[in-house]
């Protein structure tokens, strides 16, 4: 098909339009792909390369150094050089006379520097020395990412008829050939966006209603052109080049298409912009393939979640029955069999959880939190959790911190801790003797980000070169072989790799068989908004003697104490330590601190101990005795001999600093300040607390009597009869008698005739599931005593927890339900149920619940059990609660002023959950009452309750202040 010249068109439009279009197509054709190209793209490239070779105009592609990369047939004909003769040869030296060489080269570099088209007229030398006048356009040659690789030179020999006019008819034929051959959708426009030329691919891809477009305005042909496309066209008319790697558009027939596009200017000989050229790369097949892959991942995630539910539901019955069986009188053999069943079932649950965790990571459903956390506390938690395992194998667990390591970071501390625990646990598992080192090194510290390198070094069995590439693949042969011998699922390292990638880092391994392994990773964090706590000035220039036979422990202490300004000396035997102590005493500069391992307490050590005891009244030296956990009883016997401080190994920075502070009687602020996500989990109503799962649990006799004496009505909604029996029996052991139903409609029917204080609600039930049932209860409740609803579910996805909260559930238990989890959740909500049974819980005459001391606003027994009596942990939890609760009360007061009942209800609900979780009396019940009033939109009754909230919060503040200053 011959395309006629558009009316009133400039002949230069066709001449220069061809060159500009070739340049753009050549830019697409000669792309250097960074990723493997699809078959469709490869075929397009081959066809486009063939097109360049067959074009009648000259096409030469040069590298940045001026070497010839491409040389088409037209260039061969005009120069006499064959393509294979010129590839990789220097264009300037081969084809340009010396007289014009520098000038043309300058124009070439100008095109590269300005990233614009440059026109040049020069003489081209042929292979026989013949000179030919040519008009060339030089444009930058870019790869797919926009990087400049060189330049594309396109042009024509100066060819005029005898009367000097340009051969317009010949140019039209060449334009027709070009457009009909192009494999891509491409169109050329003038400055008014009128069509000058277009390819058949343009029609096939965009499917306009009009098939003859020459001379028509593009916006008239396609009235629904996007505004950002119009803006790109305007930029191109101003001389810019605009691209989009992926875009979408709805055709006039309603079909959705995907493509990438590039729009750029073409120029007349005068240098003016003559219009634009628009090239489109269809992406429909690629996008459909990608979407199908994403759908497959989502289906896999949903399938695994459903399978988790189907497996966890019967497993809940199995584990529950086994727990009940273990509390009966069994013979030793029966007890052994029962424990084997329990351990096997627990292992199966571990496998299920890790498969789900990996599935969420692969599906992109796992998102990192961003909060301030304490890196040193994170490391201490890791070694605390794994210290017993390491000690059982007589392995030394060491932390080595490099200088200038920031203590506070902003990121997901819990996920970092998960990676470290997994890697250290693996190191312990595969190491028979020796040590495990946790090495932490800052790589980059800037105002924008902090990159830290972690290495877990062990002296274990090592890994062969053949197996190392497979380690981070789930269920790889490398993991399968070791898991059969050492246990595990083979998913831990794969999960670690995904988490490290989310943290903007990399993970790898260095290992040799029989020589140990180093698993390393780096992660990027944001600088914390918390200011770095400087070392106590009292520690600066103090002298410390470390008496320890392990060189690694001595080195670890030196690394930790170096930033504190402490002068460290070491001794690997008690005899050397005794000699050094005598020497310093004789000099009149005794050590301020001696850190001694219990293992070195031989006769020389005992002598040193005796000397310290004798001179304790007039000597500044303080002894800190350190030992492993298993030696604690022996250590306590030694501590009774004198006023010494005890330190449990493995040594961690905060633990060591605490021992120094205690020995020297220093008051160090923020020593136990933690900001880990775990505390937010305990306090925030949007995240339910995790509960421990021991094999069995017995309430004390006192608690049994107490709970049985409380008129607490419980309704169990569970469709699985085995699980019903398990939970009902567990409740009976706790002193409660509950009603049971098997679907949501039965729950609603029971609530019509009687009130329940607490409902244990299965989420997946027939007829009406737990979510819908809860939503109906919350939507229709007019009672002053709404029930506390606890979710029972086999689903463990974060979205399931969020859904429970959204429909109005108060807490969450994951199946299988063990007795301790049930104890925890009921104890947490009993105070709320007790206070809501009194219609005026906030009056001055209101009596505290049975387990609440009259003068104590906090359930100390609960916190002591939760934190094993550690006062610093209770203090940390309560101070965090006070801060959050005060913010919520302030938000409540603002919501009252604007009559924002939705905000009042939301804040009251969150405060109810966080206060109950923190073991606070009175506040949960008042918050429940506030939530009810907000539902009823009773604004007059709300302000007095908020004042009562502030009153009880002030009591908690006073209690915490007494904890700080007893």
pLDDT band at 526 (very low <50, low <70, confident <90, very high): very high
Tell whether the model's pLDDT for residue 685 goes beyond 70.
Answer: no
Q: Strand, coil or helix: what is 965?
A: coil
For the chain, give the number of residues.
Answer: 966
Residue 319's nearest CA partner among 341, 335, 337 is 341
The pLDDT value recorded for residue 452 is 96
The pLDDT value recorded for residue 510 is 92
Which domains, from first to last, does the chain contain? Answer: 7-173 (3.30.450.20), 286-363 (1.10.287.130), 371-527 (3.30.565.10), 543-670 (3.40.50.2300), 714-835 (3.40.50.2300), 860-964 (1.20.120.160)
More confident site: 688 or 894: 894
The pLDDT value recorded for residue 520 is 95
**What is the residue whose two structure tokens read 């209770």?**
874
The edge-to-edge listing of strands for the beta sheet with 58-63 is 68-71, 58-63, 148-157, 131-142, 118-125
Q: What is the DSSP letter of 536?
A: P
* Inter-residue contact 67 to 88 (CB < 8 Å): yes
Q: Above pLDDT 90, what percent of the chain? A: 12
For the chain, counts of helices (H) and of strands (E): 33, 27
Q: Tens digits of per-residue pLDDT, 338-369?
A: 776 777 777 677 677 777 677 667 666 677 88
Tell whether the model's pLDDT for residue 517 goes beyond 90.
Answer: yes
Least trusted range by pLDDT, from 372-376, 558-562, 831-835, 949-953: 831-835
The mean of the pLDDT values for the chain is: 76
Tell whether the model's pLDDT for residue 34 goes beyond 50.
Answer: no
More confident site: 722 or 396: 396
Q: What is the DSSP letter of 38?
A: P
pLDDT band at 522 (very low <50, low <70, confident <90, very high): very high
Q: Tens digits of per-residue pLDDT, 728-767?
A: 888 887 888 899 998 999 999 998 888 888 999 988 888 8
Residue 736's nearest CA partner among 707, 769, 759 is 707
The predicted model gives 274-281 an average pLDDT of: 87
Q: Tens digits of per-residue pLDDT, 175-229?
A: 545 655 577 888 888 889 988 778 888 888 888 887 677 778 899 889 888 888 9
**Cβ count within 10 A of residue 406:** 16
Residue 625's nearest CA partner among 954, 311, 617, 608 is 608
Residue 539's nearest CA partner among 399, 361, 667 is 667
The pLDDT value recorded for residue 183 is 73
**Cβ count within 10 A of residue 329:** 6
Instruction: Please work out, in degrees rounded to the nearest 5, the angle formed at the alpha carbon of residue 879 by the alpha carbons of 876 and 881.
Output: 110
Residue 431's nearest CA partner among 370, 375, 390, 382 is 390
Q: Tens digits of per-residue pLDDT, 4-29?
A: 333 344 433 444 455 555 555 555 55
Tell whether the model's pLDDT for residue 853 goes beyond 50.
Answer: no
The β-bridge partners of 858 are 920
| Alpha carbons 218 and 708: distance in angstroms, whole number | 82
Q: Is 902 exposed, middle or buried (0-12, 13-18, 19+ CB in 10 A)?
A: exposed
**What is the residue-wise DSSP string for 139-178?**
EEEE-TTS-EEEEEEEEEE--B-TTS-B-HHHHHHHHHHH
| Alpha carbons 790 and 774: distance in angstroms, whole number | 10
* Residues in Cβ contact with 675 at an 8 Å cutoff, skipping those fewer than 6 apart: 371, 372, 373, 374, 408, 413, 530
pLDDT band at 3 (very low <50, low <70, confident <90, very high): very low
The pLDDT value recorded for residue 35 is 44
The highest-confidence range among 2-16, 55-69, 634-648, by mean pLDDT, is 55-69
The pLDDT value recorded for residue 301 is 64
Residue 380's nearest CA partner among 648, 636, 565 is 648
Tell whether the model's pLDDT for residue 772 goes beyond 80.
Answer: yes
Handedness of CA 892, 895, 900, 906 (dihedral sign): negative
Tell whether the model's pLDDT for residue 543 goes beyond 80.
Answer: yes
| Alpha carbons 692 and 696: distance in angstroms, whole number | 11
* Inter-residue contact 906 to 678 (CB < 8 Å): no
Region of 504 on the Ramachandran plot (φ > 0 left; ψ -120 to 50 alpha; else beta): left
The predicted model gives 421-448 an average pLDDT of: 92
Q: How far is CA 476 from CA 9, 427, 471, 492, 512, in A?
A: 67, 18, 7, 12, 19
The β-bridge partners of 279 are 186, 262
Q: Tens digits of per-residue pLDDT, 690-738?
A: 333 333 333 443 344 334 445 678 999 988 777 788 888 888 878 888 9
Least trusted range by pLDDT, from 37-51, 79-93, 148-162, 311-325: 37-51
Residue 376's nearest CA partner among 519, 522, 540, 532 is 532
More confident site: 56 or 284: 284
Tell whether the model's pLDDT for residue 262 goes beyond 70.
Answer: yes
Least trusted range by pLDDT, from 241-250, 450-459, 864-873: 864-873
pLDDT band at 599 (very low <50, low <70, confident <90, very high): confident
| Alpha carbons 474 and 465: distance in angstroms, whole number | 18
* Inter-residue contact 422 to 495 (CB < 8 Å): yes
The β-bridge partners of 411 are 371
Tokens of 290: 């990608």
The pLDDT value recorded for residue 169 is 41
Cα-Cα end-to-end distance for the chain? 97
The highest-confidence range among 45-49, 397-401, 485-489, 849-853, by mean pLDDT, is 397-401
The predicted model gives 379-388 an average pLDDT of: 84
The β-bridge partners of 409 are 373, 527
Angle, nearest 10°, between helix axes 653-664 and 375-392? Answer: 100
| Alpha carbons 775 and 768: distance in angstroms, whole number | 11
Region of 526 on the Ramachandran plot (φ > 0 left; ψ -120 to 50 alpha; else beta): beta
Peptide bond into 632 cis (omega under 30): no
Q: Above pLDDT 70, what percent of the chain? A: 73
Q: What is the DSSP letter of 223?
A: T
Handedness of CA 918, 923, 926, 930 (dihedral sign): negative
**What is the residue-wise DSSP string for 234-246?**
HHHHTT--EEEEE
Give the dihedral of Cα atoms 290, 293, 298, 303; nearest 10 deg. 170
Q: Strand, coil or helix: what is 950?
A: helix
* Residues in Cβ contact with 326 at an 8 Å cutoff, skipping those fewer than 6 apart: 335, 338, 339, 342, 695, 696
* Inter-residue contact 355 to 304 (CB < 8 Å): yes
* Inter-residue contact 262 to 24 (CB < 8 Å): yes
Tokens of 207: 């499917």
* Inter-residue contact 392 to 352 (CB < 8 Å): no
| Alpha carbons 186 and 27: distance in angstroms, whole number | 13
Tell whether the model's pLDDT for residue 166 goes beyond 50.
Answer: no
Tokens of 87: 């590839």
Q: Report pTM.
A: 0.49
**Cβ count within 10 A of residue 716:** 23
pLDDT band at 616 (very low <50, low <70, confident <90, very high): low
| Alpha carbons 326 and 314: distance in angstroms, whole number | 18
Tell whether the model's pLDDT for residue 487 goes beyond 60.
Answer: no
């Amino acid at each position: 098909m011959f395309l006629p010249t558009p009316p009133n068109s400039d002949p230069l439009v066709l001449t220069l339009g061809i060159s500009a279009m070739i340049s753009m197509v050549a830019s697409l054709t000669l792309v250097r792909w960074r990723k493997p190209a699809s078959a469709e793209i490869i075929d397009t490239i081959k066809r486009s390369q063939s097109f360049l070779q067959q074009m009648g105009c000259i096409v030469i592609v040069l590298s940045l150094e001026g070497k010839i990369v491409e040389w088409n047939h037209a260039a061969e004909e005009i120069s006499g050089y064959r393509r294979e003769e010129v590839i990789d040869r220097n264009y300037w030296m081969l084809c340009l006379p010396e007289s014009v060489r520098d000038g043309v080269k300058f124009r070439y570099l100008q095109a590269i520097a300005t990233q614009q088209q440059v026109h040049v007229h020069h003489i081209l030398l042929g292979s026989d020395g013949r000179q030919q006048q040519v008009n060339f356009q030089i444009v930058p040659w870019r790869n797919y990412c926009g990087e400049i690789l060189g330049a594309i030179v396109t042009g024509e020999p100066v060819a005029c008829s005898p009367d000097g006019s340009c051969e317009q008819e010949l140019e039209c034929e060449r334009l027709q050939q070009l457009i009909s051959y192009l494999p891509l959708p491409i169109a050329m426009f003038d400055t008014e966006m009128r069509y000058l030329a277009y390819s058949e691919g343009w029609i096939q891809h965009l499917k306009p209603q009009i098939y003859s477009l020459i001379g028509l305005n593009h916006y008239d042909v396609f009235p629904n052109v996007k505004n950002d496309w119009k803006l790109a066209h305007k930029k191109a008319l101003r001389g810019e080049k605009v691209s989009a790697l992926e875009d979408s558009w709805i055709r006039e027939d309603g079909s959705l298409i995907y493509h990438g596009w590039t729009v750029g200017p073409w120029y007349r000989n005068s240098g003016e912009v003559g219009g634009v050229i628009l090239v489109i790369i269809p992406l429909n097949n690629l996008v459909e393939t990608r979407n199908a892959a994403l759908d497959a991942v989502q289906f896999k995630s949903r399938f695994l979640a459903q399978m988790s539910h189907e497996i966890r539901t019967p497993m809940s019955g199995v584990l529950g029955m086994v727990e009940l069986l273990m509390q009966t009188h069994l013979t030793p053999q029966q007890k052994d069999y029962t424990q084997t069943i329990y351990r096997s079932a627990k292992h199966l649950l571990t496998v299920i959880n890790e498969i789900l965790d990996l599935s969420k990571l692969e599906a992109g459903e796992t998102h990192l939190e961003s909060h301030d956390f304490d890196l040193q506390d994170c490391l201490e938690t890791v070694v605390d959790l794994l210290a017993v395992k390491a000690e059982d194998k007589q392995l030394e667990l060491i932390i080595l911190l490099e200088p200038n390591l920031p203590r506070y970071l902003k990121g997901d501390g819990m996920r970092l801790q998960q990676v470290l625990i997994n890697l250290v646990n693996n190191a312990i598992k595969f190491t028979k003797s020796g040590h495990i080192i946790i090495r932490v090194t800052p790589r980059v510290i800037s105002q924008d980000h902090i990159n830290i390198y972690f290495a877990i070094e062990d002296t274990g069995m090592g890994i062969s070169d053949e197996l190392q590439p497979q380690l981070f693949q789930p269920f790889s042969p490398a993991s399968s072989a070791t898991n059969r011998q050492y246990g595990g699922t083979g998913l831990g390292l794969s999960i670690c790799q995904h988490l490290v990638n989310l943290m903007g880092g990399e993970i790898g391994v260095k290992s040799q068989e029989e020589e140990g392994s180093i698993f390393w990773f780096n992660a990027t964090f944001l600088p914390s908004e918390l200011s770095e706590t400087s070392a106590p000035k009292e520690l600066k220039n103090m002298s410390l003697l470390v008496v320890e036979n392990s060189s690694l422990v001595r080195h670890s202490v030196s690394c930790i104490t170096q930033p504190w300004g402490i002068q460290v000396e070491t001794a690997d035997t008690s005899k050397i330590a005794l000699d050094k102590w005598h020497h310093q005493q004789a000099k009149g500069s005794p050590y301020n601190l001696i850190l001694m391992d219990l293992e070195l307490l031989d006769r020389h050590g005992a002598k040193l101990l005796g000397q310290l005891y004798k001179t304790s009244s007039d000597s500044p030296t303080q002894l800190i005795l350190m030992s492993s956990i298993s030696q604690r009883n022996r250590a306590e016997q030694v501590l009774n001999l004198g006023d010494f401080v005890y330190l449990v190994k493995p040594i961690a920075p905060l633990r060591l600093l605490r021992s120094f502070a205690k020995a020297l009687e220093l008051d160090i602020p923020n020593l136990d300040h933690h900001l880990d996500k775990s505390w937010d989990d305990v306090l925030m109503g949007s995240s339910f607390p995790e509960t421990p799962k021991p094999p069995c649990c017995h309430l004390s006799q006192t608690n049994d009597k107490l709970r049985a004496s409380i008129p607490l009505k419980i309704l169990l909604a569970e469709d699985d009869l085995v699980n019903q029996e398990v939970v009902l029996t567990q409740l009976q052991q706790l002193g409660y008698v509950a009603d049971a139903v098997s679907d949501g409609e039965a729950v609603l029917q029971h609530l019509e005739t009687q009130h329940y204080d607490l409902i244990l609600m299965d989420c997946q039930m027939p007829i009406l599931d737990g979510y819908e049932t809860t939503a109906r209860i919350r939507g229709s409740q007019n009672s002053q005593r709404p029930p506390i609803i606890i979710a029972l579910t086999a689903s463990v996805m974060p979205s399931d927890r969020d859904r429970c909260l959204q429909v109005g559930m108060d807490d969450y238990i994951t199946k299988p339900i063990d007795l301790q989890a049930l104890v925890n959740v009921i104890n947490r909500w009993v105070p709320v149920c007790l206070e809501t049974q009194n219609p005026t819980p906030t009056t001055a005459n209101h009596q505290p619940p049975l387990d609440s001391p009259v003068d104590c606003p906090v359930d100390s027994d609960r916190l002591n059990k939760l934190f094993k009596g550690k006062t610093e942990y209770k203090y940390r939890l309560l101070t965090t609660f006070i801060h959050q609760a005060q913010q919520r009360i302030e938000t409540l007061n603002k919501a009252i002023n604007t009559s924002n009942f939705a905000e009042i209800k939301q804040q009251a609900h969150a405060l109810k959950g966080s206060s109950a979780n923190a073991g606070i009396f009175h506040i949960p019940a008042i918050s429940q009452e506030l939530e009810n009033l907000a539902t009823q939109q009773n604004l007059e009754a709300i302000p007095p309750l908020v004042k009562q909230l502030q009153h009880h919060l002030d009591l908690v503040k006073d209690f915490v202040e007494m904890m700080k200053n007893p």
